[in-house]
């Protein structure tokens, strides 16, 4: 069984990777460690750099994820600055920026980079479409869950328990990753 290490402490990311990869014969473990995050315009570049660094540091194949919330009316802000925006202006600040704006469309972009030591990383991207609510709501989850409404829903992610909330996220990245790993391990 081939082993891949997910460099994250996020249980939902680990569960998604295991769900996609373990049926194909890949064991997924995880390491929670800080990795450098470069200043870049795209979450894919951040994920690639961090994956390369972690693969060399750990001397084994790794997965590294980076994601961002992109609000169309704000020209993609916060994007790669999603974590910083959460720490500084939070959901209330985002709602203030959105006051009076009709186009509330937004999406999360997730980039998962796979890297083996001594090789260049491969990136898989997924998108979860939705919109920004007029006000915060919900008691589940954290952060942007209280203002992001998944496409086709009327309530924010924060209104859904963990098991249901997890289902809204695009699984395309993990499916593509699984297909790639299967193709290189034949």
Q: Domain spans of the chain? A: 2-184
Cβ contacts of 29 within 8 Å, gap of 6 or more: 3, 4, 5, 6
The model's pTM: 0.86
Identify the CATH class of 2-184: alpha beta
Cβ(141)–Cβ(12) below 8 Å = no
Cβ(16)–Cβ(172) below 8 Å = no
Residue of 101 and 143 predicted with greater confidence: 101
Distance in angstroms (rounded) separating the CA atoms of residues 133 and 98: 9
- Which DSSP category does 145 fall into? G
186 confidence band (pLDDT: 50, 70, 90): low
Active site residues: 66
The predicted pLDDT at position 3 comes to 85
The predicted pLDDT at position 1 comes to 63
Query: What does the pLDDT look like over 56-106, one tens digit per residue?
Result: 999 999 999 999 999 999 999 999 999 899 999 999 999 999 999 999 999
């Amino acid at each position: 069984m081939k082993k891949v290490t997910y460099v994250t402490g996020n249980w939902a990311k680990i569960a998604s990777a295991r769900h996609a990869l373990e049926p194909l014969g890949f064991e997924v473990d995880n390491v929670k460690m800080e990795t450098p995050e470069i200043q870049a315009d795209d979450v894919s570049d951040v994920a690639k750099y961090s994956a390369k660094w972690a693969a060399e540091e750990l001397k084994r194949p790794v997965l590294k994820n980076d994601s961002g919330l992109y609000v169309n009316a704000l020209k993609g802000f916060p994007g790669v600055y999603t974590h910083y925006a959460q720490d500084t202006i939070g959901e209330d600040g985002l709602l203030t920026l959105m006051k009076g704006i009709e186009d509330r469309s937004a999406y999360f972009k997730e980039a998962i980079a796979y890297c083996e030591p001594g090789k260049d990383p491969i990136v898989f991207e997924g998108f979860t479409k939705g919109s920004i609510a007029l006000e915060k709501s919900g008691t589940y989850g954290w952060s942007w869950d209280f203002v992001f409404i998944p496409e086709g829903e009327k309530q924010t992610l924060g209104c859904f328990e963990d098991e249901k909330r997890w289902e809204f996220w695009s699984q395309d990245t993990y499916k593509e990753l699984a297909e790639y790993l299967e193709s290189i391990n034949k």
